[in-house]
Chain A
Amino acid sequence: MDGAHDMGGMDGFGPVVPEANEPLFHAAWERRAFALTLAMARPGGWNLDMTRFARENRSPLDYLSKSYYQIWLAGLERLMAERGLVTSDEIAAARPLHPRRDVAALSADDAAPMLARGAPTERPAPAPAHFAIGDRVRARNIHPHTHTRLPRYVRGHVGVVELVHGAHIFPDSHALGAGEQPQWLYTVTFDGRELWGDDCDPSLRISVDAWESYLEPVR
Chain B
Amino acid sequence: MSEHQHGHSHDHDHDHSELSETELRVRALETILTEKGYVDPAALDILIETYETKVGPRNGARVVAKAWTDPAYRARLLQDATAAIAELGYTGRQGEHIVAVENTPATHNMVVCTLCSCYPWPVLGLPPVWYKSAPYRSRAVKEPRAVLADFGVTLPDDTAIRVWDSTAEIRYLVIPMRPDGTEGFTEDQLADLVTRDSMIGTGVAQPPAENS
**Interface residues, chain A, CB within 8 Å of chain B?**
5-11, 13-19, 22, 24, 26-36, 38-40, 43, 48, 52, 55-56, 64-70, 73, 76-77, 85-86, 90-91, 93-96, 100, 103, 105-108, 110-112, 114-122, 149-151, 153, 163, 165, 168-169, 171, 185, 187, 195-196, 200-201, 203-211
Contacts and interface: CB of A to CB of B under 8 A. Distances in A.
B8 A65 contact: yes
A209 B116 contact: no
A121 B114 contact: no
A161 B130 CA distance: 30
10 contacts: A24-B126, A39-B44, A40-B33, A73-B25, A108-B40, A115-B47, A121-B96, A196-B142, A201-B143, A206-B164
Given A90-B32, A91-B29, 8 more contacts: A26-B12, A32-B26, A32-B30, A39-B33, A151-B165, A206-B141, A208-B165, A210-B168
B8 A67 contact: yes
Which 4 pairs show the lowest CB-CB distances between chains A and B? A26-B12, A8-B114, A209-B168, A108-B42
A61 to B, nearest CB: 11
B206 interface: no
Contacts of B47: 34-35, 38-39, 111, 115
Interface string B26-65: 1111111101111110111111101110000000000000
B135 A105 contact: no
Contacts of A151: 114-115, 165, 167
Contact of A7 (B27, B30, B138): B138
B117 A68 contact: yes
Given A6-B114, A7-B134, A203 B43 contact: no
B208 interface: no
Interface of A is mostly: mixed
Contacts of A187: 99, 164, 170
Contact of B22 (A52, A73, A103): A73
Size category, B interface: 35 or more
Given A26-B11, A121-B97, A165-B168, A35 B48 contact: yes
Given A36-B44, A108-B42, A119 B167 contact: no
Instruction: Say whether chain B's binding surface is mostly helix, strand, loop, or mixed.
Output: mixed
B138 A207 contact: no
Contacts of B125: 24
A103 B38 contact: yes
Interface string B131-160: 011111111111111010011000000011
B138 A11 contact: yes
Nearest to A187: B170
Contacts of B96: 118-122
B69 interface: no
B26 A165 contact: no
A36 B46 contact: no
B179 interface: no
B119 to A, nearest CB: 12
B92 A100 contact: no
Given A13-B138, A149-B167, A185-B170, A24 B28 contact: no
Given A16-B139, A68-B129, A39 B168 contact: no
A204 B32 contact: no
